[in-house]
Amino acid sequence: MTQKVYKYVIVGGGVSAGYAAREFVQQGLKPGELAIFSTEEFAPYERPTLSKAYLFPEGAARLPNFHVCAGSGGTKQPPEWYTEHGIDLYLSTEVKILDVEAKSLTTSAGATYKYETVVVATGATFVRLADSGVPGADAQGIYYLREIDDADKLLAAIKDKKDGPAVVIGGGYIGLELTACLVKNDVKVTMVYPGPHCMPRLFTPELASFYEGYYEAKGVTIVKGPRATEFEKDESGQVKTVKLKDGTTIQADIVVVGVGAKPRLELLKGQVAEEKGGFKVDGFFKTSVPHVYAVGDIAAFPMKIYGDIRRVEHVDHARKSAIQAVQAIKAEEKGETIPEYDYLPYFYSRSFDLSWQFYGDNVGEAVTWGREAAQASSSKFGTYWIKDGKVVGAFLEGGSPEENKAIAKVAKEQPAVSSKDELLSAGLSFATTI
Ligand X SMILES: Cc1cc2nc3c(=O)[nH]c(=O)nc-3n(C[C@H](O)[C@H](O)[C@H](O)COP(=O)(O)OP(=O)(O)OC[C@H]3O[C@@H](n4cnc5c(N)ncnc54)[C@H](O)[C@@H]3O)c2cc1C
Which residues here bind ligand X, judged by CB under 6 A?
Answer: 11-17, 37-40, 47-48, 50-51, 94-95, 121-124, 145-146, 174, 264, 267, 296-297, 313-316, 318, 347-349
Give the pairing of strands 249-251 and 239-244: antiparallel
Asked if 314 and 323 touch (Cβ cutoff 8 Å), the reply is no
Nearer to ligand X among residue 39 and residue 404 (C-beta): 39
| Helix-, strand-, coil-residue percentages of the chain, each rounded to 5 | 25, 30, 45
Q: Which residue is nearest to ligand X (CB)?
A: 14
Minimum distance, C-beta of residue 40 to ligand X, in the bound complex (Å): 4
CA atoms within 13 A on the CB side of 68: 25
* CA separation for the pair 36, 119 (Å, rounded): 9
Nearer to ligand X among residue 126 and residue 231 (C-beta): 126
Minimum distance, C-beta of residue 148 to ligand X, in the bound complex (Å): 10
H or E stretch covering 114: strand 112-120
Nearer to ligand X among residue 136 and residue 278 (C-beta): 278
Nearer to ligand X among residue 313 and residue 422 (C-beta): 313
Minimum distance, C-beta of residue 239 to ligand X, in the bound complex (Å): 21
Minimum distance, C-beta of residue 357 to ligand X, in the bound complex (Å): 10
Minimum distance, C-beta of residue 138 to ligand X, in the bound complex (Å): 21
> Phi-psi category of 157—alpha, beta or left, where left has phi over 0 and alpha has psi -120 to 50?
alpha
Minimum distance, C-beta of residue 147 to ligand X, in the bound complex (Å): 6
* CA separation for the pair 320, 333 (Å, rounded): 20
The length of the chain in residues reads 434
Nearer to ligand X among residue 38 and residue 383 (C-beta): 38
* CA separation for the pair 6, 249 (Å, rounded): 55
- Between helix 315-333 and helix 15-27 the angle, nearest 10°, is 30
Nearer to ligand X among residue 181 and residue 367 (C-beta): 181
Q: Give the contacts of 72 (CB within 8 A, at least 6 positions apart).
A: 319
Nearer to ligand X among residue 136 and residue 398 (C-beta): 398
Minimum distance, C-beta of residue 335 to ligand X, in the bound complex (Å): 29
Minimum distance, C-beta of residue 94 to ligand X, in the bound complex (Å): 4
* CA separation for the pair 61, 47 (Å, rounded): 12
How far is CA 340 from its chain centroid?
Answer: 23
For residue 275, count CB atoms less than 10 angstroms from its CB and return exposed for 0-12, middle for 13-18, buried for 19 or more: middle
Nearer to ligand X among residue 29 and residue 154 (C-beta): 154
Asked if 94 and 108 touch (Cβ cutoff 8 Å), the reply is yes
